[in-house]
Amino acid sequence: MNIIAIHTSHDGSISIVKGSEFIVHAQIDRFSNIIASAIPCSKILNAIKQLDMVFDVVLMSFLNGSAHWLWEDALRSYNLINSKTKIIYYEDKHHHYFHTMCAKMTVGDNENMVVIDGGGSPLDKGFEEETIFKKNKIIKQTQQSIGIDYEKQVKKRLKTRPYRSFRDCGKIMALSVYDKELNIFQKQIEKKIKNFMPKTNVTYTGGVAQNVLANAQFLNYKNFKIDPLCTDQGISLGVLAHYTKMNFKLPHPVYLGFKPKYDLSIFKNYKVKQTTHEEVCKILKDNPVALFQGRSEQGQRGLGNRSLIMDATNPNAKNIINRIKKREWYRPFSPAILEEKAKDYFNCNQPSPYMLYVFKNKIKLKSVMSDDGTSRIQTVSKKDNLHFYNLLKNFHVPFVLNTSLNMAGHTLVEDLEDLKYMMDYGNLKYAYLPDIKTLITQ
């Protein structure tokens, strides 16, 4: 049976299985390049079409501001559904429950499944905000407005558009290191989260789980896990897990996008040649390099499959990277480091493969640390990302500056056409495709 789940509100995504075989999970905005949008576009519809599947079941989930009717029309016009297709709608009920189902697929079940976000399903008064589940049953629910209060700070400080503030909460978190008022606010948020959180055996999800400063409180908690797809970009996966009773397995918690096609003919005006890790390491000392390989990582971070990397020990690394990224002065970049070497440079005694925690630095690494002496690190293992691991293994230090592969205001690069656009217009001169041992240069 061919099944597609589509979350058709903000931070929309699709998830597809064929029987018990996982096919793909992908964020819709990666194809439209309109951040957080769930509107269908020809690029994602063509990608689905190339799977050569007609769907027996379509699962549509949404909150307010849904594009579900556009998706139904688009699926029909692309002959992806027919008169026998069963369409099931999941309106704004059980939103937090679907977060937990996604988390069970990515990092696993737990005694306590905790969800904290801006707002989920409607309650008698207001919306879901903070919820604890045990065995799929709600045992505690509060309305402390943890996520909503953060969005209010974003609106106040950054003057964002209504209903878009949730996309910029990370900026306020970064700025809190430098701003006294925001620092007090951040500490108050951390206290609320800690007071709500069970002390052991927790899987944590929902948009607030992106607050890496707050997450650092839980590094010593027993059996504490964070869903890397904790925002609504994981909801379609949660709906699919619910409907199928979790009868499929993911190949990885984040590397879940469409498999790339390596047609290099579009780079006819570029130099394309075979390369080695050693050659790329030499380039990295003075130049940013796009790292493009395998299925795109889903979630909020570039984690080595769609990453922009550079030597973090270069004193000008931050400024050089910012010619492409154009990030605010107060937003630090992050390091990716060999998992076995992390404890030598950071107060880190556990893997951190998804950049969901901050750790204190043992040495000063100016380009990849905040002024509070912490870094949001990615630990890289051979099992998780072999090519990235081997690249770091060949580098003169076991870490690099790692940021998501995108231009300012754009979504993460999804395919080679996106990569070419970034090289055409984004001050990017080098791209490394380790799957095919290829270097593309201006």
Token pair, residue 101, equals 């189902």
> At residue 248, what is the residue type?
F
Instruction: Show the tokens assigned to 360.
Output: 């204190």
108-226: what CATH class? alpha beta
Angle at 262 between CA 229 and CA 240, to 5 degrees: 30
Q: What is the DSSP string of 285-333?
A: TTS-EEEE-SSPBPSSS--SSEEEEE-TTSTTHHHHHHHHH---TT---
User: First CA to last CA across the chain, in angstroms?
Assistant: 46
pLDDT, block means (10 residues), the chain with 442 residues: 97 97 98 95 98 98 90 98 97 93 98 95 89 97 95 92 83 95 97 98 98 97 98 98 98 98 96 98 98 97 98 97 94 97 96 98 95 97 98 98 96 98 96 98 94
User: In terms of Cα–Cα distance, which of 15, 5, 103 is closest to 60?
Assistant: 5
- pLDDT, position 93: 84
Identify the CA nearest to 285 among candidates 173, 367, 364, 194. 367
pTM beyond 0.85? yes
264-441 shares the fold of 2-92+236-244? no
What is the rounded distance in angstroms from the CA atom of residue 434 to the CA atom of residue 442?
18
Strand pairing class (2-7; 13-18): antiparallel
Q: Say what the pLDDT of residue 78 is.
A: 98
Give the pLDDT of residue 122.
85
Residue 125: per-residue pLDDT: 84
User: Can you spell out the DSSP letters for 413-432?
Assistant: P-SHHHHHHHHHHSS--EEE
Residues in CB range of 429: below 8 A, 6 or more apart: 287, 288, 423, 441, 442
The fold of 264-441 is DHBP synthase (3.90.870)
Q: How many CB atoms lie within 10 A of CB 233?
A: 26
- CA–centroid distance for 77 within its chain: 30
* CB-based contact 257:28 (threshold 8 Å): no
- State the CATH architecture for 2-92+236-244: 2-Layer Sandwich (3.30)
pLDDT given for residue 165 in this prediction:
84
Task: List all residues 6 or more positions away from 128 whose beta carbon is below 8 Å from its beta carbon.
Answer: 95, 96, 115, 117, 119, 120, 121, 122, 141
| Predicted local distance difference test score (pLDDT) of residue 161 | 79
Q: Where are the domains of the chain?
A: 2-92+236-244, 108-226, 264-441
